[in-house]
Chain A
């Protein structure tokens, strides 16, 4: 099962390296990682998605806690979190294919952010599942380039 960890860290030099390095050193695979500022200018929040079947999640969180600059780690409840990921995808779109791409884009509420005669670039926000479904549909049409931010997530309600 996938686990989404929300990690609050001090915004100090090298903190991302420490977190990423820890995963590498302990042999934990990262599925995605996103980092940015938080509500407090001194702190950053990192969202990491890992495969919990591969590694015991409590061992990962305990090791993360040992980093001096780590303040708080939450293993977000999958049923009680909001998460989103931003995806940009450039897809071939000439002739009839173009109509098809536009239809798929509409279904997924994707925005066309760039277009020329041969191709279209879509921007879409959604959960991991939604983005995977979109890519699945676009692939036969000719996906040329994909960029993803990795998921960001927070607990629902007051947390």
Chain B
């Protein structure tokens, strides 16, 4: 802890960050940020990672937060620096990621005058933050930092913006390690109500066709052990959302994989047929439910979430439980352990699910033209890294194949922009994840479109010595849009052809990274092994089949059993 001492605002900020456990800061300096950067210059406790564009700072801090569970911190100068953070802040907001964004602001007496590099960043970000501060007095600065970290990391996590006019950094204050937070309006309910938990336990015990539907809340609350115990106690088949991949090991016999638009046949049909749907920390997003009216038509619903506003927002819950998923799942286990139950109750159901899993696996065919199947590349990444890499993605087809063909076995293993669907997220998020988990192999699975949005961050990866492996599934298209144009827009590929593109191998080399190109099946493994052993950032340009579609697919707004693709091993259409 920093002892009480009179100091400049900029130094008090550094002290407060340190006391909040901030060990790394992703940022980019600018005019009004100089006093803070001056204070950082001789600080040994906080590492500063210089990005090449502020969007990269926000995504890297987010990736760091998702990989470690700690609060990610990014900083930028005023005006354009701050506005460049906005996409990253919104990304963190939609996926409930704990982020503190410190933006610098023009001098207090210039605010509102359209001063040079002035932007009303608390105003601009208001719809996409959990909370925000415009600090007016140096004396408030440490307290604001403590509150911001508390708000970002507790309850339903989310981003907090602290906007600081440069004169506040230059003013002086006595720094105190404050632990008294003044937040009378902020008291998240983390313990589920025991009466609701008992009602839920009873419903679970009586169910004949239960499904456990897991969302991102399971990861942010650290509920993996409790969830595993709960699933095993009553042999509950498990469907996860994109945000929850890894929280329940996909190698487990009860795992049905992901549900929703590109979910498995097994998971989607199980949700359609179940008599009890147990939602833990998910939010009935439209990419999961498809047509809401036809979603889980036979099911009673239990919905546990730390955010009361999610409960009843899209789907009515018979048993709503406001609380932290870790606590709720633990309490449910405790109740269930004292109740009588025999496996016969759900045996027929589990039998049906096992058969379906066997008959309707995720599958693809090798492209007729002999080109590389993108799905095969993911399978190889999975095999070569032994289900053990931290996988970051961009947004699009490669992202969905990454959810389908990599085997996730532990929480915080899969890092992807789910809610906002932000292209360009993958590389900077992977850099943040690598800095948070230096021991892990970090793979960024990207597309040729998304990669080009933030590829300048290769310079960050190199200069910060954060070796990540970028796997570009290069099909020369903005593939997911092309897929929709193929399926729903009469193959009119309007502005989705991006074949005219840089040479990604030369590009990697220009940044000092390893660049490799792979066009044949046999070369995939060797390239991955070379990249893993390289000890520096590598970019592998996988030339994959151009017009491969992600299947199965539930068209937007359809029932989740109306799937394109998803045929059986023998080609049978419907289960």
Decide whether A and B assemble into one complex.
Answer: yes
Binding site for B on A (CB under 8 A): 9-10, 13-14, 17-18, 21, 25, 56, 58-59, 62-63, 65-71
Q: Within the assembled complex, what's the spacing in Å between the Cα atoms of A14 and B126?
A: 10
Q: Within the assembled complex, what's the spacing in Å between the Cα atoms of A71 and B131?
A: 15
Whether A10 pairs with B134 at a CB distance below 8 angstroms is no
Contacts of B134 in A (CB 8 A): 13-14
Q: Which of A10, A18, A58, A67 contacts B312 (CB 8 A)?
A: A58
- Contacting A at CB under 8 A, from B244-293, are none
Is B313 an interface residue when CB atoms closer than 8 A count as contact? yes
A-B contact pairs, 25 of them (CB 8 A): A9-B185, A10-B184, A10-B185, A13-B134, A13-B136, A14-B122, A14-B132, A14-B134, A21-B127, A25-B127, A56-B312, A59-B312, A62-B309, A65-B309, A66-B130, A66-B307, A66-B309, A67-B185, A68-B130, A68-B131, A68-B183, A68-B185, A69-B185, A71-B184, A71-B185
Contacts of A66 in B (CB 8 A): 130, 307, 309
Q: Which of B126, B127, B151, B309 contacts A68 (CB 8 A)?
A: B151
CB distance from B103 to the nearest CB of A (A): 15
Q: Within the assembled complex, what's the spacing in Å between the Cα atoms of A133 and B186?
A: 42
Which of A25, A66, A67 has the most chain B CB atoms closer than 10 A to its own CB?
A66
- Contacting A at CB under 8 A, from B283-321, are 307-309, 312-313
**Majority SS at the chain A contact face:** mixed
What 15 additional pairs, Cβ within 8 angstroms, besides A65-B308, A67-B185? A9-B185, A10-B185, A13-B136, A14-B132, A14-B134, A21-B127, A56-B312, A62-B309, A65-B309, A66-B130, A66-B307, A66-B309, A68-B130, A69-B185, A71-B184
Contacts of B3 in A (CB 8 A): none
CB distance from A159 to the nearest CB of B (A): 19
Binding site for A on B (CB under 8 A): 122-123, 126-127, 130-132, 134, 136, 151, 183-186, 307-309, 312-313
Contacts of B130 in A (CB 8 A): 66, 68
Contacts of B313 in A (CB 8 A): 59
Q: Which of B123, B151, B308 contacts A17 (CB 8 A)?
A: B123
Q: Within the assembled complex, what's the spacing in Å between the Cα atoms of A9 and B185?
A: 8
Contacts of A68 in B (CB 8 A): 130-131, 151, 183, 185-186
Contacts of A62 in B (CB 8 A): 308-309
Q: Within the assembled complex, what's the spacing in Å between the Cα atoms of A14 and B183?
A: 16
Contacts of B184 in A (CB 8 A): 10, 71
Residue of B nearest to A25 (CB): B127
Q: Within the assembled complex, what's the spacing in Å between the Cα atoms of A106 and B134?
A: 50
Q: Within the assembled complex, what's the spacing in Å between the Cα atoms of A126 and B151?
A: 42
Q: Within the assembled complex, what's the spacing in Å between the Cα atoms of A65 and B186?
A: 9
Residue of B nearest to A66 (CB): B309
CB distance from B139 to the nearest CB of A (A): 16
Residue of A nearest to B122 (CB): A14
Residue of A nearest to B183 (CB): A68
Q: Within the assembled complex, what's the spacing in Å between the Cα atoms of A56 and B314?
A: 11
Contacts A14-B134, A58-B312, A62-B308; A70 near B126 (Cβ below 8 A): no
Contacts of A18 in B (CB 8 A): 126
CB distance from B96 to the nearest CB of A (A): 12
CB distance from A13 to the nearest CB of B (A): 7
Contacts of B126 in A (CB 8 A): 14, 17-18, 21
CB distance from A36 to the nearest CB of B (A): 18
CB distance from A100 to the nearest CB of B (A): 49
Whether B185 pairs with A70 at a CB distance below 8 angstroms is yes
Q: Within the assembled complex, what's the spacing in Å between the Cα atoms of A66 and B155?
A: 10
Closest 6 CB pairs of A and B: A62-B309, A68-B131, A71-B185, A25-B127, A68-B186, A70-B185
CB distance from A26 to the nearest CB of B (A): 10
Q: Within the assembled complex, what's the spacing in Å between the Cα atoms of A109 and B130?
A: 47
Which of B131, B183, B185 has the most chain A CB atoms closer than 10 A to its own CB?
B185
Q: Within the assembled complex, what's the spacing in Å between the Cα atoms of A58 and B320?
A: 14
Q: Within the assembled complex, what's the spacing in Å between the Cα atoms of A10 and B184?
A: 9
Contacts of A10 in B (CB 8 A): 184-185
Q: Within the assembled complex, what's the spacing in Å between the Cα atoms of A64 and B571?
A: 51
Residue of A nearest to B310 (CB): A62
CB distance from A75 to the nearest CB of B (A): 15
Q: Which of B122, B183, B309 contacts A63 (CB 8 A)?
A: B309
Contacts of B123 in A (CB 8 A): 17
CB distance from A72 to the nearest CB of B (A): 8
Contacts of A25 in B (CB 8 A): 127
CB distance from A114 to the nearest CB of B (A): 35
Q: Within the assembled complex, what's the spacing in Å between the Cα atoms of A70 and B187?
A: 11
Contacts of A13 in B (CB 8 A): 134, 136
Contacts of A14 in B (CB 8 A): 122, 126, 132, 134
Q: Within the assembled complex, what's the spacing in Å between the Cα atoms of A58 and B317?
A: 14
Contacts of B131 in A (CB 8 A): 68
Contacts of B122 in A (CB 8 A): 14
